[in-house]
Amino acid sequence: MQLEVEGLTLRHGLLQAVRGLDLRVAKGEIVALVGANGAGKTTLLRAIAGAHPVFSGRIAFRGVDLAGLPAHRRVGLGIALVPEGRRLFAQMTVEENLHLAEDYGRAGPWTIEAVFEAFPNLRPRRKQKAGSLSGGEQQAVAIGRALVTNPELLLLDEVSLGLAPLAVERVYDRLHALMRSGITIILVEQDLKRAMQTADRVICMLEGRVVLEGKTAEIGRAQVTEAYFGLRPVGQPAS
C-alpha cells in the first residue's frame, strides 16, 4: 500500500475530530472522501500532509513512518495538499506562487510550463496577482502549485467549493486528465454525484469515523447517502 493510516486519532483541543481511523490507499487509486461538515475529512487530509498534529496512531507513506516529519519534508517525499479555500499568497503573482512551491518539490515532469499547458487560461495571467483572479483561476493555481512539487499522492480538499458551475466543469476536466496519469488522489468533495463518478472507491466519514467504504461500481448512492446522514449504525455494512 502507498498510504497506510492506523488507529489515527486527531484533536482540536478537547474535541476528537478523527477517532481511531484506519485507511489504506493503493498506488494509482482515486479515493473520494465524503461526509457532512465536521466529519473530520479536512483534518485527516491536513494530518497526512503534516499540517495538523497527530494525537495517537500512525501514518506511513511508501513504508516510511511520517511521525514527526514536518510538512515540507513530506512534500519532498511526494505528498501534496490542495487545501480548502486555496490558501494562495494573494499579493504574489501566479508565477511567484508556483515558483515558491517548485523550490520545495521534487524533480519530475510537472514544471511551471507544464502547469500552464494543463491550465492554459493561467498563461496570460502569469504576472497577475493571485488575489485578483476569479475563483476558478485561483483553484487552478492551487492545483498547479501542488503539481509542480511532482507528487505521488495528491490530497484535494473541496476543489469545487464556492465555484460557479462552469468553473467546476473546467477544473474537473483538467483533473480527469491528471487522474489518467497514474497519480494517487484522495478527493474530498461535497458533490456526492461527482465524487462517485470520479473515484474508484468512496469512503464516508461521520463524526470522525469511517461508517461506509466500498468501490463506487459496487455501492449505491442511496447507501452512501444513508451513511452520510448517520442513518446506518457505525460499522454496519452496506446491504
Provide the terminal-to-terminal Cα distance of the chain, rounded to the nearest Å. 27
CA 188, CA 158: separation in Å to the nearest integer? 5
pLDDT tens for each residue of 38-97: 999 999 999 999 999 999 999 999 999 999 999 999 999 999 999 987 789 899 999 999
| pLDDT for position 75 | 95
**Across the chain, what does the average pLDDT equal?**
90
Buried (b) or exposed (e) across 211-221, using 16+ Cβ within 10 A? Answer: bbbbebeebee
Domains of the chain: 3-228 (3.40.50.300)
What pLDDT score was predicted for residue 237?
46
pLDDT band of 125, cuts 50, 70, 90? very high
Do residues 144 and 119 touch, judged by C-beta distance below 8 A? yes
133-154 confidence digits (pLDDT tens): 998 899 989 999 999 999 999 9
Between CA 196 and CA 62, with CA 191 as vertex, the angle to 5 degrees is: 55
CA-derived radius of gyration, the chain: 17
Mean predicted confidence (pLDDT) in 179-184? 86
Give the per-residue pLDDT at 232.
56
